[in-house]
Amino acid sequence: MEGIGAKRWNFGTSNELLVRSSSLGIRDYLTTLNSCLNGDDSRPVVPLGHGDPSPFPSFCTDQAAVEAICDAVRSTKFNNYSSASGVPVARKAVAEYLSRDLSYEISANDVHLTAGCFQAIEILITALATPGANILLPRPTYPMYDSRASLSHLEVRYFDLLPEIGWDVDLDAVEALADDKTVALVLINPCNPCGNVFSRQHLQKIAETAYKLGILVVADEVYDHFTFGDDKPFVSMAEFAEIVPVIVLGAISKRWFVPGWRLGWMVTLDPHSILKDYGFVQSLTNVLNVSTDPATFIQGAIPDIIGNTKEEFFSSKLEMVRKCAEICYEEITKIPCITCPCKPEGSMFTMVKLNLSLLEDISDDLDFCTKLAKEESVIILPGRAVGLMNWLRLTFAVELELLVDGLSRLKNFAQRHSKKQP
């Protein structure tokens, strides 16, 4: 028998496609930034790089949601496998929940439960990825769409969100980018990473443009109800399903502050049966049939999570996020090398632009963020992670005192690296 070291094995490192897809994700950047932290810095790390406030005491989920989970487990009614689209009572509860804000009722048959919105993206991209197809993504974007499209050999084409007009969609660019192989347009509303909320009028124009191009709209609404602008209430793209087929993605992760519970959904809104007649509903079903399910006891708890959580919980948490957004915007305006083009209106994020001409020893957005992590123990996501070089994405949904501390450290860092006046 030949030695183990001399034996040839048939497996090895990841292929280039997988490496590239992984490198597009936020986690890869956060890993890099965390590796730059100075272990001798006794100050707490300020995590302004990703949107998960759930570890902070101020953002604990509602006790009614916790009790719903416990009751579902104790009942022993949800120890079995579920169907590919989910437990019927859970699908019905989600349909009723989403219908509250619509002018019509969603059918439970159109709701497909997933292991978080993350898996909903995976399933949807897999179903869309036919040979030669392309998909239109916003820039800046949520990079999971890019990663999954890359893995599925689905070509990505980017349309810009325009900061000078509140991050609205460049609809002329959408029309110029689309061709007869374009299958869908992705819209994230409220927007991660920009923090804007699209108006009803703009959403209708997007729907009309998609109809003109013969493509469906993927409406990522995981931050639905996370709106705090004075004149921009959340309007679901579902309101425009009469114009164009819409697939709404969502989850309980953000509004209930439980991303680790991994319960999301896809909803096919197709009143004219276009998705069905063209075979796309069957394609989704085929992918669901070979996908894992969200934990059945989480599904079983959904009716009580939705039904027993009081409005006071949502309003109090939203008020905290609004205060954090206000402070973030106000403090950012005091830093000369950083510009925030729009006051945050929703989600947990804002995009700000770096003026590198005002800085010394900073070459780009990644260099800024790595040095900030090392010198100040503050984690901010470089804009390149979401598609915009020399911008930054900040989350403001952290404990208020920690946010104020982090922004103060950011200001000190910027002052220290500012070019000295002659």
The string of DSSP codes covering 116-155 is HHHHHHHHHHHHH--TT-EEEEEES--THHHHHHHHTT-E
Q: Provide CB contacts within 8 A for 145, sequence distance 6+.
A: 121, 125, 135, 137, 156, 186
Cα 95 from Cα 115, distance rounded (Å): 17
pLDDT digits (tens, 9 = 90+) for 268-296: 999 999 999 999 999 999 999 999 999 99
pLDDT, position 15: 75
pLDDT, position 420: 80
Taking the model in full, what pTM does it have?
Answer: 0.95
pLDDT, position 18: 76
Q: Provide CB contacts within 8 A for 32, sequence distance 6+.
A: 370
CA 34 to chain centre: 21
pLDDT, position 229: 78
Cα 108 from Cα 106, distance rounded (Å): 7
pLDDT, position 327: 97
Which strand ranges, in their side-by-side order, compose the sheet holding 264-269?
111-114, 264-269, 246-251, 216-220, 182-188, 134-139, 155-162, 168-169
Beta strands 391-395; 349-354: pairing state:
antiparallel
pLDDT, position 1: 52
List C-alpha distances in Å: 372 to 37, 51, 341, 382, 417.
9, 19, 22, 11, 10
pLDDT, position 353: 98
User: How many C-beta atoms lie closer than 10 Å to residue 23's C-beta?
Assistant: 13
Mean pLDDT across the chain: 95
Q: Which residues in the chain land under pLDDT 50?
A: none
pLDDT, position 3: 65
